[in-house]
Amino acid sequence: MKPRSLKRSNAHFKKALKRLPLGVASSFRYWGDDRTVYVDHGKGARVWDIDGNEYVDYRLGYGPAILGYADDRVDAAARKGMEVGGVFALSTEKELEVAERIAGMVPSVDLVRFSNSGTEAVMAALRLARAHTGRESYVLIEGSYHGLFDAAMWMVDVEDWEPERGREPRKVSYSKGIPQSLRQLAHLAPMNDPEMLESIFRLHGNEIAALLIEPIQGNCCAISANKEYVQKARELCDLYGALLIIDEVKTGFRVARGGVQELMGVRADISTFAKAMANGYPISAIGGREDVMRTFRFGGAAHGGTYTAHSVSIAAAAETLRILDETDALENIAAYGTELMDGISKILDARGIVHSFTGHPSMFGLFFAETPPDNYRDWKNSDYTFYDTMAEHLHDAGIIVEPDSREPWFMCEAHDAACLKDTLRAVEWSVEMTMEELAVA
């Protein structure tokens, strides 16, 4: 492989540190003082950094670029949206057009409200559930990511856990600055453990406003719930009068036209969408049952936002959703993901390296174990040394993946035969380099 230089990125990082914490606008973009990449531009499934290095991208901004970067169709629609004028603190007709499209694709959605990011959508969904039920507490599934807001930033401390003592792991916040008084409102349940979930509802069911779940965990290696677990969650919510919020910020309009709910055969009371719905333009949506959604009213649950349904983003969403709904884009994306997994398997099998995949062909996780974990606790206690080492070699070989194993590989419509060829060549080299490095270590 041709050596990669990050000379300009390294120099820019040193300058950026003077004005930007960690030299970046989001902490997750910091990959180390000498490995943080600054993008020059992207097109299709590839990006180029300011040093001129070219990459096939499987991060895709954590999933939004489902059609590929700078898609001509979506960008043309966005330019027409610019002509509308931006924001008015008034509505436009395009909002109804997109809401109708979402309701047509996702059977559980009767009404829609728009917002600007996945975090904002989930915040609004939880507020809505509390307003509708008159309750305050809620259930989170361990390992799920629902955005960076106080109510969602709770996890179990598996590292200091001693299960032989018969105790559950401690519930802790994963950031400084989270009010510890919120701890009592959040109940954490392991994925795919229906007995534990049921015990939480038995103890606290009359206090629980909602259960939030990502059936395919977008920030925990695409670990997936089984259908029985999701259906059990639906039953418990119905039994105890809680609302089921299915977070489709990453799976929505990606794994199927009807999202993960279509794959699982379940309907949410409230759904949240964001990443794939506008091919990278900033927009999100909250959708759900009519009686629940009409709690968004004066005297009910407050909802709003200056930039909500911005004319550019709503136009991009209309075109992106049209493409995903009316063409075979999703089928092609899944087919590419399947072909990529098959190619990776052949490389690893040839070297006797045990591995497995999780998730969906359009967003999959790779594990170096015979059976992948099906919950956060098992993932946290698994050995992901090989993956983390290989990821850095992949970067050097011109493939962008998350530097650790938490984030799935995302596919887009622009991934093509040339991308596949380049990727598999890079994977083969990176595997060899990783084997050599770990053998020495």
* DSSP assignment string, 243-286: EEEEEETTTBTTTBTTHHHHHHT---SEEEE-GGGGTTSS-EEE
Q: Is-catalytic flag, 247?
A: yes
Catalytic residue among 62, 69, 145, 240: 145
| Separation in Å, CA 116 to CA 121, 124, 252, 272 | 8, 11, 15, 12
- Strand (E) or helix (H) holding 202: helix 194-204
CA gyration radius, the chain: 22
Cβ partners under 8 Å of residue 275, min gap 6: 61, 62, 63, 64, 66, 118, 249, 250, 252, 254
Cα–Cα–Cα angle for 93, 96, 100, rounded to 5 degrees: 145
Q: Is-catalytic flag, 383?
A: no
Catalytic residue among 247, 378, 396, 422: 247
Distance between CA 205 and CA 198 in Å, rounded? 9
* DSSP assignment string, 123-161: HHHHHHHHHHHS--EEEEETT----SSGGG-EEE--TT-
Distance between CA 395 and CA 44 in Å, rounded? 18
Catalytic residue among 94, 232, 250, 275: 275
Q: Which of 242, 233, 244 is nearest to 270 (CA)?
A: 244
Asked whether the beta carbons of 113 and 285 are under 8 A apart, the reply is yes
CA 152 distance to own-chain centroid: 14
Q: Would you please indicate which residues are annotated as catalytic (active-site) residues?
A: 145, 247, 275
